[in-house]
Amino acid sequence: MSDFLPQQLLRWRRELHQHPELSDQEFATTERIRHWLEQMNIQPLPLALKTGVVIEIGHGEPLIALRADIDALPIDEHTDQPWRSQQPGVMHACGHDLHSSVMLGVAQQLKRIESQLPGRVRILFQPAEEIFTGAKQLLAAGALQDVQAIFGLHNAPDLPVGTLRTRGGAYYANVDRFQINISGKGAHAARPHEGIDSIVIASHIVTALQTLPSRVFSSLESVVLSVTRFTAGNSWNVLPQTVELEGTVRTHSAEIRSRIPDKITALINGIAAGFGAQAELVWQEGPLSLVNTPEWADFALELAAEQGYRTQVGTPQMGGEDFAFYLQHLPGAFVSIGSASEFGLHHGGFDPDEAMLEPAVHYFTVLAQRALSTLRQQQALAS
Ligand code: NI
């Protein structure tokens, strides 16, 4: 591998970092990635995508996919790095700029050995991961057609550089979002008995919701319920008619997840009715739990150890990741790679160690070749 790569990786990463774009608006990012790929003599596949790029390297069968995400977050950057975001209020605070740079590096390395590849590698530069719609867009556009296994990464600020973590089975959580609309009767604050106080009712509801994880579901099941928004009123002396609550529920089991909306509905209807008010649940399903194929997770860990990473078998995380949608359709594994940032993901001070880039490029370059060989052997045995 040439010495040119480390500098190249920093150039890509810092340029992406300076020009972050929100989900589904990654137009300039898409242009940059296309341009850099064209410099490597790689043309994007002709898919109907608003943003994002998909490429393919190699020939014949089998076919695997590698995925990077490309979108940023509506967060103000607080670092004082020379390459900090030039876009006020938008920041690559989840490190998708790192992931994209890693996969650009992998594309460059694989292109150099294209004629020796035992199959094809499709690389996805996926938009809109943060709003959980990008993977679905790529699936709908046919980007995963004929792919036999898929791999992806997320940087992990809590891990030191040189550490790789994953696990077979459920790794990231089911992510669901809810809104609860509570409607009472407005009144003068001095005469609350003439109204139905939606703020008091909503407060009961917020407290009661916490009994779902602690009293309705087994403590051995993972259920997290957080109310994150409580919006009511606009005056000091008026009791408002309505309150809006918003929040998220995280679980790992599909069975537990499926029971939650009914439990919330029963609870909020009961409480609201007791006070003579109404409550309504708006439930929005997000991505399913990310479930790694055990064989591919083991493969990813063994290869990482061989490549000099310290490896860890992870415990299930409560965060979400739309890579889960790919793993609903095909086997594969998603890994976490240490990026050693003092401030975590989605924080304005997030400042990952760029030393994570180069080893990750080597890792996925070898992983792609090894996964193709493995699939080829399996198919030879099966035929
Ligand atoms: Ni992310």
- Encode the chain (383 residues) as per-residue pLDDT tens digits: 445 679 999 999 999 999 999 999 999 999 999 999 999 999 999 999 999 999 999 999 999 999 999 999 999 999 999 999 999 999 999 999 999 999 999 999 999 999 999 999 999 999 999 999 999 999 999 999 999 999 999 999 999 999 999 999 999 999 999 999 999 999 999 999 999 999 999 999 999 999 999 999 999 999 999 999 999 999 999 999 999 999 999 999 999 999 999 999 999 999 999 999 999 999 998 888 999 999 999 999 999 999 999 999 999 999 999 999 999 999 999 999 999 999 999 999 999 999 999 999 999 999 999 999 999 999 888 87
**Rounded distance from Cα 293 to ligand 1 centre (Å):** 20
Q: Are residues 241 and 93 in the same domain?
A: no
- pTM for the structure as a whole: 0.88
Q: Give CA–CA dist 9/344, Å, rounded.
A: 22
Ligand 1 mean position, distance from CA 343 (Å): 14
Kindly state whether residues 113 and 193 are assigned to the same domain: no
Regarding whether 161 and 50 lie in a shared domain, the answer is: yes
Tell me how far apart the alpha carbons of residues 268 and 283 are, in angstroms, rounded to a whole number.
13
* The one-letter amino acid at 223: V
Domain finish residue from 236, 264, 285: 285
CA dist 368 and 321 (Å) reads 21
CATH of the domain at 378: 3.40.630.10
CA 369–ligand 1 middle distance (angstroms): 25
Q: 242 CA distance to ligand 1 centroid (A)?
A: 35
Distance 97 CA to ligand 1 centre (A): 10
Give the whole-angstrom CA distance, residue 154 versus residue 370: 20
Grouping H, G, I as helix, E, B as strand and the rest as coil, residue 203 is helix
What is residue 44's DSSP assignment? P
> What is the count of structural domains for the chain?
2
How close is the Cα of 155 to the center of ligand 1, in Å?
8
112 C-alpha vs ligand 1 centroid, how far in Å? 29
Compute, in angstroms, the gap from residue 92 CA to the centroid of ligand 1: 9
State residue 3's pLDDT score: 55
pLDDT at 286: 87
Distance in Å, CA 170 to ligand 1 centroid: 17
Q: Are residues 204 and 280 in the same domain?
A: yes
- Interval between CA 360 and ligand 1 midpoint (Å): 16
CA of 69 to the centre of ligand 1 (A): 8
**For residue 248, what are the CA distances in angstroms to 78, 128, 227, 229, 257?**
27, 19, 7, 10, 12
Instruction: Indicate whether 159 and 81 sit together in one domain.
Output: yes
Its domain, for residue 335, covers 5-171+289-382
Residues 303, 162 share a domain: yes
Q: 94 with 125, same domain?
A: yes
- Distance (angstroms) between ligand 1 centre and the Cα of 213 equals 26
Give yes or no: residues 268 and 372 share one domain: no
Q: 32 with 123, same domain?
A: yes
How many other C-beta atoms lie within 10 A of the C-beta of residue 33? Answer: 26
d(CA 206, CA 20): 36
130 and 251 inside one domain: no
Ligand 1 centroid – CA 201 distance (Å): 36
